[in-house]
Amino acid sequence: MGKSQRGKGQSSVVLRHRLPDGSVHLDWMIERSDAAAGLISFRVDVGVDLSKAGGFAAERIGDHRRDYLTYEGAVSGGRGEVERIAEFGVLELVESVGGLRVDLERGTSGVRMRWTGEQEIGPRWKFVGVVC
């Protein structure tokens, strides 16, 4: 599929992003092992739960700064505010052109999930998750 990155303390977070107009979506961010690289980032619908099997659509957005792994609060430029609602450890990340596979573990529950995503058209992706 692509280059495999075994989890070396990498994290993944889900942030609830409330925009100034009152609308809300989730931002899912995945840390790469390269400390200089940005976070792989997707916008997903409210209600997506990465600790349960199933599927969902996502929109790939620009890589984000690593600060967002721990940041909560106002987003610069008047772009709303973010609140962390979920946090995972990354066990393995395989990234390729148009594809992604990530194995996550939720620390508090020990739930392990494998999410496999494929790019559909432009920034639109489809993910399918299974319990590991």
pTM for this entry: 0.91
Helix, strand, coil tally for the chain in percent (to 5): 5, 60, 35
Is residue 122 pLDDT above 90, yes or no?
yes
* The one-letter amino acid at 124: R
**Amino acid 109: pLDDT:** 78
Instruction: Please give the pLDDT value at position 105.
Output: 95
Q: Report d(CA 23, CA 64) in Å as an integer.
A: 20
**Once rounded to an integer, what is the mean pLDDT over residues 41-61?**
96
Q: Decide if pLDDT at 85 tops 90.
A: yes
Determine the average pLDDT of the residues in 48-66.
Answer: 95
Torsion angle, alpha carbons of 65, 129, 117, 90, to 10? 30
49: enclosing H helix or E strand = none
